[in-house]
Amino acid sequence: MGVIDKEQVVPVEALSPTRVDLAGGTLDIMPLTSILEHKTTVNFGITLHAAVQVTRRDREFQLVSHDQKVTIEGDWSRVTRDGRLPLLERLLQHFWHPELPALRLETKAKSPAGAGLGGSSCLAIATASALLKARADAGMPLHLDERQLVQQVQDLETAVIRVPTGCQDYWGGLRGGINIIRYPPGGAQVETLRDHAAQELDHMLLLCYSGVSRASGTNNWAIFRKAFEGDAFTLSILNEIGTLSEALAQAVKSQSWSEVFRLSAAEWQLRAQLWSDIETPETKTIATAAKSAGALFTRICGAGGGGVMAIFAPSEAHMRVRDAMIQAGGRVLEGRLCWQSTEVKGEFT
């Protein structure tokens, strides 16, 4: 994996892709899906992975977050109630068992904090997947299908952040590929495309960090409240976003990328009517610079605005666009479209 020091030769390792959303973010928050007539979400996985490693220990547990630079060590009671790594603590408490052996759980994310790439949710999927593999190796398996895994991880993260969360980040992290998520009664249905004919999209993709993180969850919560207060304007815009997202899903399936970009741009303009501050001076400057250098389309990642931007440009223009974004104050991230689902390997021995 190359990002986490190893204590054992073959520890359990899990890698989950983060995701870029093209349309329909916010519509994935339950129970918004029950009151909207039009609702579809489209995203794709990228190789800015969330990485988790689980190794067996003889005595005390350890939780290590390299990103937050926090280490918790102690017995089961201490590490699950310390409070400094609340999401990891809840995941360990739920997916492990005090009668199982002690372990060291390490996490590291390639995605910057506040990037709008669903990093914490993808990290939670990777953590749960690693713990389930280690638990099976330890002789106490917990059998969950994909839907159960997503729902349980989503519930745990919601309990930590205390605002409603959407499901698209978890499915993006679990599946990778291009995901079309629909919301019929009874729960989300996810269609994942892994057609490598869509490599054209990958060849156009660039990722740039503006340096300014955004609180997408807080922004989403404000819209959620307005919708359930019956605000007609909010509900109308959300349904329009859903209609465009449904059309964009069809354009993705036919690989009509110019139409995908047109619809995604139109969806973003609707979204900007709900979030007046969804764009920052930094993202606007980078977008202008990228387009002047030959980019076809730019989009801020995250349903409520994020710090990372997805830029699509012909491959022959990539160097010019990269240079322009750097001169505009951006930091280019080395990521590509990820076709693989969450990958788990190694043994808990």
Q: Structural domains in the chain?
A: 12-192+339-345 (3.30.230.10), 195-333 (3.30.70.890)
Residue 306: its pLDDT value, please? 65
Contact between 21 and 303 under an 8 Å Cβ cutoff? The reply is: yes
| pLDDT > 90? residue 60 | yes
**Residues 6+ positions from 115 with CB-CB distance below 8 Å:** 18, 48, 209, 213, 301, 302, 306, 307, 308
> DSSP letters along 236-274, please?
HHHHHHHHHHHHHHHHHHTT-HHHHHHHHHHHHHHHHHH
Backbone angles phi, psi at 197, to 5 degrees: -65, -20
User: Each residue of 179-225: pLDDT tens digit?
Assistant: 999 999 999 999 999 876 678 999 999 999 998 766 555 677 788 88
The residue type of 278 is I
- In whole angstroms, what is the distance from residue 216 CA to residue 26 CA? 9
| pLDDT > 80? residue 176 | yes
User: Each residue of 89-109: pLDDT tens digit?
Assistant: 999 999 999 999 999 999 999
| 3 state DSSP class of 328 | coil
Query: Over the range 272-307, which residues count as b (16 or more CB within 10 Å of their CB) and which as e?
Result: eebbeebbbebbebbbebbbebebbbbbbbbbbbbb
pTM of the entire predicted model: 0.93
| pLDDT band, very low/low/confident/very high, at 8 (cuts 50, 70, 90) | very low
**Residues 6+ positions from 163 with CB-CB distance below 8 Å:** 217, 218, 220, 221, 224
- In whole angstroms, what is the distance from residue 288 CA to residue 327 CA? 12
What mean pLDDT comes out for the span 263-275? Answer: 92
What mean pLDDT comes out for the span 310-322? Answer: 97
- In whole angstroms, what is the distance from residue 191 CA to residue 173 CA? 14
Q: What is the Cα Rg of the chain in Å?
A: 20
Residue 197: its pLDDT value, please? 61
Lookup: tokens for 137? 């190796």
Residue 303: its pLDDT value, please? 66
The residue type of 246 is E
What mean pLDDT comes out for the span 331-339? Answer: 94
